[in-house]
Amino acid sequence: MLGAEVRLEPIRPIPEAATLEARAAALGERLFADPRLSRDGRMSCASCHDLARHGADGRTHPSGTEVTQGSVKTPTVYNSGLSFVQGWNGRAPTLEAMVGLAVTSPAFMGSSWSKVIQGLRSDAKLNADFDAVFDEAPTPETVTAAIAAFERSLVTPNSRFDRWLAGEDEAIDEAELDGYRLFKSYGCVSCHQGANVGGNMYGRMGLMGDYFADRGGEITPADLGRFTITGLDEDRHLFKVPSLRLAVRNPPYFHDGSTETLAEAIRVMARYQLGRSISDEHVAAIERFLTTLVGEHPRLTP
């Protein structure tokens, strides 16, 4: 898709998925949908990261096993391998670590590795496939490696904006290009840049205003962001900046799922992160630009 020349912009094209781990990724795809990874045998990774629903579940908070519930909005799994850490608060440094947390956390699948491995090793066909790929039966390390390899394959290259970056002038129209110019001029691009249009830094929610006071309601541990991991005051309300690649497909918005529409999310970001008001006309233009970021994947619905 990409030619020799790529426009020099703060947003970069998404690279095609690597093929080096193709066999592990194929095995991971099966495990991603396998409910034996959960304590009650009713949930899989795909239960919250529905690839037909753009890699998320559309809920304010994900449902875990039995009556438990996650405390933050489920982010899309598409392009997650392009992020520098995993989780809103960066609780997992790698996709492999995130898989382990998802399997064992009571808020998600609530299982244990001993139970998971016992169940998987009872499957003769799966054991043979693991032996072919990893030269051993399933282990916590090989299970997480396989699922992470599959997740790294979930990239969405060849968006209309990426094609424009590669020199295809007609890939986006003038109104969408105006939206991109506004996206840059307002300062959105200071946090949302790179191939993932985010996901490569932390940002404080409410940098230019008290978002949580204005939102109302109790401040929960989830609202504390990275502080829950480090205990450092400077990390209070600090979150991984989310990718905007599939933002138009994945309401509600923010870690708390408090904002239903993309237009309102743009207004909130302008106010609390940039300290600026933004006109309805400019909101609509930026929305038009964001539609151009959606790329392609065989499992991603149009």
pLDDT in tens, 181-208: 999 999 999 999 999 999 999 999 999 9
Residue 113 and residue 61 share a domain: yes
In this structure, is residue 257 part of a structural domain?
Answer: yes
Q: What is the pLDDT of residue 58?
A: 84
Residue 144 and residue 61 share a domain: yes
Residue 178 and residue 148 share a domain: no
**CATH for 203:** 1.10.760.10
Q: Tell which of 128, 152, 176 closes a domain.
A: 152
Q: Tell which of 99, 132, 152 closes a domain.
A: 152
Q: Tell which of 124, 152, 180 closes a domain.
A: 152
Q: What is the pLDDT of residue 61?
A: 64
Residue 142 and residue 179 share a domain: no
In this prediction the pTM is 0.93
* Amino acid in the structure at residue 268: V
Is 297 known as a binding-site position? Answer: no
Host domain of residue 137: 22-152
Is 269 known as a binding-site position? Answer: yes
Residues of the chain with pLDDT under 70: 1-4, 61-70
In this structure, is residue 10 part of a structural domain?
Answer: no
Number of domains making up the chain: 2
Residue 122 and residue 73 share a domain: yes
25 exposed, middle or buried (CB, 10 Å; 0-12, 13-18, 19+)? Answer: buried
Residue 41 and residue 129 share a domain: yes
The neighbouring-strand residues paired with 240 are 202
In this structure, is residue 169 part of a structural domain?
Answer: yes
Q: What is the pLDDT of residue 62?
A: 58
Residue 170 and residue 138 share a domain: no
In this structure, is residue 253 part of a structural domain?
Answer: yes
In this structure, is residue 230 part of a structural domain?
Answer: yes
Give, to the nearest 10 degrees, the angle between helix 113-121 and helix 140-152.
Answer: 80
Is 191 known as a binding-site position? Answer: yes
Residue 282 and residue 164 share a domain: yes
Q: What is the pLDDT of residue 272?
A: 98
**Distance, CA of 204 to CA of 210 (rounded, Å):** 11
* Amino acid in the structure at residue 240: K
Q: State the residue for tokens 């940039």.
A: 274
Q: What is the pLDDT of residue 67?
A: 39
In this structure, is residue 43 part of a structural domain?
Answer: yes
Residue 26 and residue 118 share a domain: yes
Residue 148 and residue 27 share a domain: yes
- The pLDDT tens digits of the residues spanning 150-177 come to 999 999 999 999 999 999 999 999 999 9
Residue 218 and residue 270 share a domain: yes
209 exposed, middle or buried (CB, 10 Å; 0-12, 13-18, 19+)? Answer: middle
Residue 114 and residue 186 share a domain: no
In this structure, is residue 16 part of a structural domain?
Answer: no
CA 166 to chain centre: 24
